[in-house]
């Protein structure tokens, strides 16, 4: 490398201070606030971009990135990046999608899914709000126990395998739907339609692809067991959100726990239909994509990805 390179970073590095040191050793590091406008403004003279899933790297930002050669994101999902625009420019993309050895050490998202499941089944957010108002109304927030219920897990990969074990620990009957054979004791492998019709709770753990986009359609909701609960910690676009709202409003879907929604990059998230619904209904629990946001997983992912970016730069730039 004859000239010192420049890395633009929109990732908060406070939880992984080692990351800053790694990047600064090989390049000038510019850290900015994670907003689309700031990204587009600053990316023009950068050779590398280190950004998280909360900021979209869209075609406009990529077009402004005259010198950009590599993008690194410390996340498994990459739907916040316009990958077609990167390919057209020949810009490399580094992510955690296939870093299985590292990802197997991260249990945060599976734990978040289970927390949302319990929150929905036991109506914990609504009960908490009542107590904060001084309303001690025990039986008004009667929930349902998990024991003897049927848990359906869609996608029995890294996270799905964790969730089926949680279900077994809670004495649930467990169904799994996956294109690969499931060889886990106590888990019955079934097709998608059978899982929909038999499950009391469904937890989604598939990647967003062309085949899974809109997987939970109006038709799929129509096949679900009346009064079922849906949990999604994968990606919002896997669910037809209009159909989900219809199911929640009609009562066919008893509750939903979502850590992801389609359009979570909106400037005013309060205008999102699901958020508006959740403001006045207690059968929808939404968290702001915090599934993987634990001290351990954040520090591990960001440090790992910084090392991966450094290695790429040293070999290729």
Beta bridge partners of 49: 8, 71
Closest CA to 232 of 206, 213, 270, 198: 206
pLDDT in tens, 153-168: 999 999 999 999 999 9
The Cα 209–Cα 211 span in angstroms is: 5
Residue 36 has pLDDT above 90, yes or no: no
Cα dist from 317 to 159, 269, 305, 306, whole Å? 35, 39, 17, 15
Closest CA to 229 of 209, 203, 205: 203
Residue 309 has pLDDT above 70, yes or no: yes
Give 77's pLDDT tier (boundaries 50, 70, 90).
confident
Residue 49's pLDDT is 98
Residue 138's pLDDT is 87
Q: Average pLDDT in the 285-291 region?
A: 96
The Cα 182–Cα 161 span in angstroms is: 9
Give the 3-state secondary structure of 253-286: EEEEEECCCCCCCCCCHHHCHHHHHHCCCCCEEE
DSSP 103-171: HTT--HHHHHHHHHHHHHHHTHHHHHHHHHTT---TGGG-----TT-EEEEE--SHHHHHHHHHHHHTT
Q: Average pLDDT in the 266-293 region?
A: 96
The CATH number assigned to the domain with range 108-286 reads 3.40.50.720
Residue 1 has pLDDT above 50, yes or no: no
Q: Average pLDDT in the 249-267 region?
A: 95
The Cα 209–Cα 116 span in angstroms is: 24
Domain with CATH 3.40.50.720 in the chain: 5-98+296-316, 108-286
φ and ψ of 173, to 5 deg: -75, 135
Cα dist from 37 to 33, 75, 157, 190, 268, whole Å? 10, 21, 36, 46, 15
φ and ψ of 214, to 5 deg: 70, 20
pLDDT in tens, 103-152: 999 999 999 999 999 999 999 999 999 999 999 988 899 999 999 999 99
Residue 44 has pLDDT above 50, yes or no: yes
Is the model more confident about 77 or about 181? 181
pLDDT in tens, 213-226: 999 999 999 999 99
Closest CA to 231 of 211, 253, 209, 210: 253
The Cα 301–Cα 75 span in angstroms is: 7
Residue 233 has pLDDT above 90, yes or no: yes
CATH 3.40.50.620 correct for 5-98+296-316: no
pLDDT > 90 in the chain, percent: 92
Consecutive H or E run containing 37: helix 36-42
Residue 27's pLDDT is 97
pLDDT in tens, 154-207: 999 999 999 999 999 999 999 999 999 999 999 999 999 999 999 999 999 999
Closest CA to 158 of 214, 216, 76: 76
Contact predicate 122/146, CB 8 Å? no
- Which range (83-87, 254-258, 261-265) has the least confidence? 261-265
Report the mean per-residue pLDDT for the chain.
95
Active-site positions read 235, 264, 289
């Amino acid at each position: 490398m004859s000239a010192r390179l420049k890395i633009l970073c929109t990732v908060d590095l406070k939880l992984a201070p080692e990351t800053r040191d790694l990047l600064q050793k090989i390049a000038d590091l510019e850290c900015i606030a994670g907003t689309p406008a700031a990204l587009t403004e600053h990316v023009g003279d950068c050779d590398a971009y280190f950004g998280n899933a909360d900021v979209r790297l869209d075609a406009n930002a990529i077009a402004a990135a005259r010198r950009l050669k590599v993008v690194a994101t410390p996340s498994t999902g990459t739907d916040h990046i316009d990958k077609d625009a990167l390919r057209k420019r020949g810009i490399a993309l580094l992510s955690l999608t296939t870093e299985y050895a590292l990802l197997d050490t991260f249990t945060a998202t599976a734990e978040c899914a289970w927390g949302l499941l319990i929150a929905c089944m036991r109506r914990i957010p609504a009960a908490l709000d009542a107590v904060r108002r001084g309303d001690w109304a025990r039986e008004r927030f009667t929930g349902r126990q998990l024991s003897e219920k049927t848990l359906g897990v869609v996608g029995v990969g890294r996270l799905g395998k964790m969730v089926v074990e949680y279900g077994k620990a809670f004495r649930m009957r467990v169904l799994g739907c996956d294109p690969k054979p499931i060889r886990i004791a106590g888990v019955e492998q079934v097709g998608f339609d059978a899982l929909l019709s038999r499950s009391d709770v469904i937890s989604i753990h598939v990647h967003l692809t062309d085949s899974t986009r809109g997987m939970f359609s109006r038709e799929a909701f129509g096949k679900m067991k009346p009064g079922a609960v849906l949990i999604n910690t994968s990606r919002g676009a896997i669910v037809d959100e209009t159909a989900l709202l219809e199911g929640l409003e009609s009562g066919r879907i008893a509750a939903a726990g979502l850590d992801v929604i389609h359009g979570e990059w909106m400037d005013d998230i309060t205008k999102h239909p699901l958020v508006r619904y959740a403001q006045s209904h207690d059968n929808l629990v939404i968290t702001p994509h915090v599934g993987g946001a634990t001290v351990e997983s954040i520090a591990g992912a960001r440090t790992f990805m910084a090392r991966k970016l450094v290695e790429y730069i040293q070999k290729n730039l």
